[in-house]
Amino acid sequence: MFKLSAIRLATVTFLISSATVATAADPIKVGVSGPFTGGSSPMGVSMRDAIRLAAAEINRSGGVLGRPLQLVERDDEAKNERGAQVAQELIHREKVVATLGIINTGVILASARFYQEAKIPVITPGPTGSQVTKLFQPPEYKESYIFRISLPDHIQADMIAQEAVTKRGYKKVAILADSTNYGQLGREDMVASLAKRNVKPVVVEKFNVKDVDMTPQLLRAKAAGAEAILTYAVGPELAQIANGMAKLGWKVPIIGSHTLSMPNFIETAGANAEGAVFPQTFVVGSTAKGNAFVDNFKKTYKVERIAGLGWAAPGYDTVYLLAAAIKQANSTDGAKIREALENLQGPVDGVLMSYSKPFTKDNHELFNDSSKALMATIRKGEVVRADSAK
């Protein structure tokens, strides 16, 4: 009887131990949402590939809590309704512990509530709409699960106005913005930033995504005596603005948001893209880790340049921030990950910077002013620091 009981006890102990080992080795499922097709895909694909790179590095080093990271990728197509659907798939079907990515402001505004209700943290390197991290602020909400490491539009707009009005002395500026949430919220921020400098735009023009002729808007801006064009749109339409100005023989500076770094602006506008100025959080040469990241990305994916570098670099960092939070929390529970992010001990060595307590309970923005950002420009088809361009 004793021998049989001992055997049974040993068997049960073995089974429990085996189950524990199996559970410990189970992958940590992390959602990755972004536009991998369509007009925003240069940003989304670059971000996704950088996230893959960081996850592979972490997994080669033993993963997190002894478990590998498993990326569950979904193409949100830059469509608000698709983004909401993706969020629900990742939460309920895939059971992710957190989500990284999302490029477009409209997409995160449409999907954030699903993550908030499920208590699933989101660390986003893409959307810049000023409302993104204000959706679930205290005191109305006890806590928020939305964290951002991209440069908010109100800061970008202020940097653009600073460049145009304070630095260059322009008093007559025109705003051209697309009709999306991104364009119109950015336009509002731009008008407010100009007003702080006692400047009112001579014209404010709107256009739709996929419009191919900006002549009417440009003619009105020219007739109003605009000394610069301030933009809030994405690559293809920005190229139409630059090319339209060239056709009119009208040469004034284009100063706009970070989307002027998109390859489908640079490549489609060609020589007409030269000299466009915009805010950025990273350019090649910014940090030693950044240079190593760029070299590794090019080597891994066999490309000569990163199409959407301004989205790839922060995308890479989101993985390391999440991994650090899971490790610090010693848990994959959403609430515990959120708490760790709000008091991240670090430092976390990233591409944009070395992160030291990047967030607090009341502030889920990495960038609270322009001190850690820079102005960049296009020189010979490459994104470089504006103060280094010749």
| 315 located within any domain | yes
| 12 located within any domain | no
| 301 located within any domain | yes
> Domain check: are 137 and 179 in the same one?
no
193-153-368 Cα angle (round to 5): 90
Range of the domain at 262: 154-280+375-388
> Domain check: are 178 and 253 in the same one?
yes
> Domain check: are 165 and 145 in the same one?
no
Using pLDDT thresholds of 50, 70 and 90, give the confidence band for residue 389. low
CATH number at residue 168: 3.40.50.2300
The pLDDT value recorded for residue 200 is 98
| 129 located within any domain | yes
> Domain check: are 353 and 276 in the same one?
no
> Domain check: are 87 and 226 in the same one?
no
> Domain check: are 232 and 381 in the same one?
yes
> Domain check: are 252 and 221 in the same one?
yes
Q: Over the stretch 240-265, which tens digit does the pLDDT of each residue have?
A: 999 999 999 999 999 999 999 988 89
| 108 located within any domain | yes
Over residues 41-57, mean pLDDT = 96
The pLDDT value recorded for residue 39 is 81
The pLDDT value recorded for residue 287 is 85
Q: Over the stretch 2-22, which tens digit does the pLDDT of each residue have?
A: 444 444 444 444 433 334 333
Global pTM reads 0.88
CA R_g for the chain:
23
Preceding omega of 152 cis (within 30 degrees of 0): no
> Domain check: are 257 and 384 in the same one?
yes
Query: In the predicted model, is pLDDT for residue 68 greater than 70?
Result: yes
CA distance 355 to 132: 21
The count of domains in the chain is 2
Query: In the predicted model, is pLDDT for residue 91 greater than 50?
Result: yes
> What single-letter amino acid sits at 287?
T
| 32 located within any domain | yes
Query: What are the structure tokens assigned to 296, written together?
Result: 């590794």
> Domain check: are 379 and 265 in the same one?
yes
| 57 located within any domain | yes
> Domain check: are 141 and 165 in the same one?
no
3-class SS string, 125-190: CCCCCCCHHHCCCCCCCCCCCEEECCCCHHHHHHHHHHHHHHHCCCCCEEEEEECCHHHHHHHHHH
CA distance 133 to 379: 34
Query: In the predicted model, is pLDDT for residue 93 greater than 70?
Result: yes
The pLDDT value recorded for residue 40 is 87
The pLDDT value recorded for residue 286 is 83
Q: Over the stretch 291-337, which tens digit does the pLDDT of each residue have?
A: 999 999 999 999 998 989 999 999 999 999 999 999 999 999 999 99
**Alpha carbon 279 to chain centroid, angstroms:** 13
> Domain check: are 216 and 293 in the same one?
no
The pLDDT value recorded for residue 14 is 40
| 369 located within any domain | no
> Domain check: are 163 and 61 in the same one?
no
